[in-house]
Structure 1
Amino acid sequence: MSGGSTTEPRTESLVAVSHGTSDPAGQRAINSLVEEIRRAASVAVHQSFVDVQEPRASTLLLGLPDEEQHAVLVPLLLSRGVHVDQDLTEAAALRPNTRIAPALGPHPSLALVIEHRLVQAGWRRGEPVILAGAGTRLAQGVHDCQQVANLLAGLLGVQVTAAFVAAATPSLGEAVAAARAASPQHRVVVASYLLAPGYFQSLIERCGADLVSDPLLAPDAEVPAELVNLVLHRFLAALS
């Protein structure tokens, strides 16, 4: 018999973790994104949630097959917040060799998708834009959204103001009112900085703006390649 040692192949898996929603259109949008990730990835891809839907990330991790030794939780979330900093950290601690990738934002790819959604909605070049994020109590999450507003401003060549549906300031309602007062002759344009349709998107659509864009994953539309590539980029970076 020959001596020496053998090394078992390292097997990774990508666990896509979204917020979860009871909205059927939002569920279809996230499911479509995960399916596109699964088609593009060279590893096993699983879907989980931090709220509303099942399986939760912790439950899924505990049920992964033994051969998937290195799991990476990739948040399908646009900025840092309690779900990334607390919920996923607690879930990852339940299984050895589990890593957590950063949230999707901020990243230039997100600004590109938002620009596309604005153009689809009828945005006219030169019109200022309000970027409407969900909101978070974490200062870093607010900063993340402001960074995306800056990236979008660079693409559009106009002022882009970050505002929030909840938990952070300025509120979307305040931003819309301020824009209306500052330029009553211009339309108030709001770009949705949400990943998928759902309750928060419905609030954005009722904010009083003249024009509101679809979320990044528009209802029953093709999944932007930029989002798929960004998820895979976050996954690979977490492994390196």
Structure 2
Amino acid sequence: MTRPTLVCCSHGTDSAEGRAVISAIVDAARALVRAPTHETYVDVQHPQVDEVVASIDGPTVIVPLLLSPGFHTSVDIGRAASSRPGVTATGTLGPDPLLVDVLVDRLASAGLRDGDRVVLAASGSSRPEAAERVEEVRAALAERLPHPVTAGYAYGAAPSVAEAVREAREAGADRVVVASYVLAPGHFATLVARSGADVVTDPLGLSPDGSAEPRIAQIVAARYAAAIGA
């Protein structure tokens, strides 16, 4: 029997590098779930999620390739999930322990050292639930590091990443290291990179060798498995 279709829904980006990273994550997730898999978006790119879901017959699981909930999960993805029977939307990729593992590894590779302060830099949303999820990740990261960890946002929430960087510097940091909590290269990753930090890690979906980070696909597969198990 054919397994339910997996629909991987990201934000969409004009960045060619960002598009390549997202497509590589989707390909890796397809290999893990061994099910028909589609890549779709809520903005910028096509096909968009409601179009894709309408084209599929049978059980379907939408996994948002988004790190935190917000407008797009509740409105765009929520509308697609309620468009017909048999469609389920899972939670976002974050919070998840594997994401914290990736952040810790990226900071280690960036040469985090005594005297540094860390800013967890998220894309941001006006929805309070997004900031709540980012705070969960910030707290989990702080438990893993012997450094102060604060949060900042590229858009839609306060403080901005630049403000968080400035506050960390004023608090006595030797260096301010931004841990990018953005999935792929693109608009938000560029805003994070321009925050004025001494060091900025790569987006989570991009491995140091330039390939897609395999742990992101593992989270997608876990969300899918939980949905079909339920």
TM bin, normalised by shorter chain, reads: over 0.9
Aligned match of 2:191: 203
Aligned match of 1:154: 143
Q: Please, which of 1, 23, 46 is the counterpart of residue 15 of structure 2?
A: 23
Instruction: Give CA-to-partner distance per residue, 1:114-154, whole Å, 9 cap, x none.
Output: 11222222322562200000111111110100111111111
State whether residues 188 and 210 of structure 1, in contact with CA within 8 Å, keep that contact through their aligned partners in structure 2: yes
- Scaled by the length of structure 2, the TM-score of the pair is 0.94
Aligned length: 228
- Scaled by the length of structure 1, the TM-score of the pair is 0.90
Aligned match of 2:89: 100
Deviation at 1:196, TM superposition (A): 0.3
Q: How far apart, CA to CA, are the structure 1 residues paired with 2:168 and 2:24?
A: 35
Q: SS of the residue aligned with 1:131?
A: strand
Q: Is the counterpart of residue 36 in structure 1 residue 28 in structure 2?
A: yes
* Amino acid across the alignment from 1:58: D
Q: How far apart, CA to CA, are the structure 2 residues paired with 1:109 and 1:135?
A: 20
Instruction: Give CA-to-partner distance per residue, 1:137-193, whole Å, 9 cap, x none.
Output: 111110100111111111223221111111111111211111111115x00111100
Q: SS of the residue aligned with 1:192?
A: strand
Aligned match of 1:218: 206
Aligned match of 1:123: 112
Q: Is the counterpart of residue 54 in structure 1 residue 46 in structure 2?
A: yes
Q: How far apart, CA to CA, are the structure 2 residues paired with 1:20 and 1:10?
A: 28
Q: SS of the residue aligned with 1:173?
A: helix
Once the two structures are superposed, the pairs formed by residues 129-140 of structure 1 within 5 Å of their partners are: 129-140=118-129
Aligned match of 1:191: 179
Where do 5+ consecutive residues of structure 2 fail to align?
none
Aligned match of 1:231: 220
Q: How far apart, CA to CA, are the structure 1 residues paired with 2:53 and 2:28?
A: 21
State whether residues 206 and 213 of structure 2, in contact with CA within 8 Å, keep that contact through their aligned partners in structure 1: no
Q: CA RMSD in A?
A: 1.5
Q: How far apart, CA to CA, are the structure 1 residues paired with 2:70 and 2:120?
A: 18
Q: SS of the residue aligned with 1:114?
A: helix
State whether residues 17 and 73 of structure 1, in contact with CA within 8 Å, keep that contact through their aligned partners in structure 2: yes
State whether residues 25 and 197 of structure 1, in contact with CA within 8 Å, keep that contact through their aligned partners in structure 2: yes
Deviation at 1:39, TM superposition (A): 1.3
Deviation at 1:225, TM superposition (A): 2.6
Deviation at 1:50, TM superposition (A): 0.4
* Amino acid across the alignment from 1:114: L
